Amino acid sequence: MTSNIDLSPLFQPTQIGAVTVRNRVLMSALTRNRALPTNVPNHLMVEYYRQRAESAGLIVSEGILVCQQGTEWPHAPGIWNQEQIDGWKKINDAIHEMGSKCFAQIWHLGRVSHPDAPDQIASGQPVYGPSAIAARGGKFRFLPGIPGYVTPTEIDDPMKLVALYKQAAINAKEAGFDGVEVHAANGYLIHEFLDSGSNMPRTDEWGGSLENRSRFGLEVLHAVIDSWGTGRVGIKLSPAGGYNDMGMPLEETLETYKYFIAEIDRLGLAYIVLQRYSEFLDPIIDGKRRAIKHDVVHAYGHLVKKSTLLSNGDFTPEEAAEYVAAGKVVGVFWGHLWISHPDLAKRIQNGKPIDTPIDMHTLYGNACGTTLDDQRVGYTDYPFAEHP
């Protein structure tokens, strides 16, 4: 990999809230579905994170379930019990030994779980959403007939769900994380409250106006900040929508996110990460792409004054360096490139190739494997480059 563009801006240490990071090559949350068999982090996950912590400035964990839920990924990790907390502690110890930092991405899926999934049944809870409106799409491959999403149960008192985030944040601190990222993107619960297409018939203080649709996300942030303080709490947003059948008309999108981002920035968060449009996350529904494509850094970046602005979404290293050098963002997250390049930051810094393809058959687990060690394939066996 050769470039005439100066990549050194990516390798300057910086402060993200209360956390100092060694570079601006950041690793975003990546669901990998390896917490077998009971949503508990294991030794294989320790190895996976240790590999990437050798060079990443900041790692955001894969989405961590705040409670037992019937997701499309039956082996996604949780943080609602002591065994899970202890498992994450081992991962964080490994990350810190390698000189990196890690934020826990806390995650409630809302309407895009399935009531027939074993974990949902075991939870004893219905699939909740802000309104009884189903998302189009979904493939629960482990259920008979591979069903899609169903109509959720409208949550009567959303503060019940806020309490789950609060406890997850408390547990994340016990597990040794450096902070918490609130997942408010990609059609999951907080995003569902924000979007008028998934939060439509409510006439109480949780729906209708953009102020009311923003309330749930703000309440979650306040609950998490109670445990962590503002300097160790970030939030991820995907205003362009698309994934999980999300997206409002452009003018309503701009109005909603300008209001919400201005409100959350007043809190002085560690960071706000704006996920750019990505075709990978933009399904075709009824013959056309679902997302509301627009330049999210340009549209909303100027509103971020008290928090650190980060971004992700199909950046090249050259583009990322230009964004950092120009002061558009402080750092850039990558996702898929970290999967197949465990030494991504070193590769970028040393001009090594970043063209190793991802084995899509093992992205969310090795279906042919019968043991945990079989799950190494497409997970911890991607090659490192030779570095000086």
Query: pLDDT digits over 41-78, tens only?
Result: 999 999 999 999 999 999 999 999 999 999 999 999 99
Whether 291 contacts 282, CB under 8 Å: yes
Q: Is 186 helix (H, G, I), strand (E, B) or coil?
A: coil
d(CA 375, CA 379): 7
User: What is the model's pLDDT at position 2?
Assistant: 55
Q: Give the mean pLDDT of the chain.
A: 97
User: What is the model's pLDDT at position 375?
Assistant: 94
Least confident of 88-92, 146-150, 230-234, 366-370: 366-370
In this model, does residue 287 exceed pLDDT 90? yes
Chain-centroid distance of CA 327 in Å reads 24
Give burial (CB, 10 Å; 0-12/13-18/19+) of 213.
buried
Whether 66 contacts 168, CB under 8 Å: yes
Q: Dihedral of the CA atoms 143, 149, 153, 156 (nearest 10)?
A: 120
In this model, does residue 115 exceed pLDDT 90? yes
In this model, does residue 189 exceed pLDDT 70? yes
Identify the CA nearest to 240 among candidates 288, 273, 276, 195.
276
- Bridge partners, residue 235, by sequence: 182, 272
Whether 136 contacts 245, CB under 8 Å: yes
- H or E stretch covering 223: helix 210-228
Cβ-proximal residues to 320 (8 Å cutoff; 6+ apart), any chain: 10, 24, 25, 332
User: What is the model's pLDDT at position 3?
Assistant: 65
User: What is the model's pLDDT at position 201?
Assistant: 84
d(CA 106, CA 85): 13
Whether 234 contacts 333, CB under 8 Å: no
Cβ-proximal residues to 297 (8 Å cutoff; 6+ apart), any chain: 274, 276, 309, 311, 323, 328, 329
Average pLDDT in the 251-268 region?
98
The confidence band for 4, taking pLDDT boundaries of 50, 70 and 90, is confident
Tens digit of pLDDT for each residue in 131-166? Answer: 999 999 999 999 999 999 999 999 999 999 999 999
What number of other Cβ atoms are within 10 A of residue 327's Cβ? 10
d(CA 213, CA 215): 6
Amino acid in the structure at residue 369: G
User: What is the model's pLDDT at position 368?
Assistant: 77
User: What is the model's pLDDT at position 1?
Assistant: 54
Amino acid in the structure at residue 385: A
Average pLDDT in the 7-35 region?
98
Q: What angle do CA 255, 260, 266 make, to 5 degrees?
A: 130
d(CA 202, CA 212): 10
Residue numbers annotated as active site: 188
Tell me the two tokens of residue 118. Answer: 């074993």
Radius of gyration over alpha carbons of the chain, in Å? 20
The confidence band for 223, taking pLDDT boundaries of 50, 70 and 90, is very high
Average pLDDT in the 206-211 region?
96
Task: Indicate the pairing of strand 288-289 with strand 284-285.
Answer: antiparallel
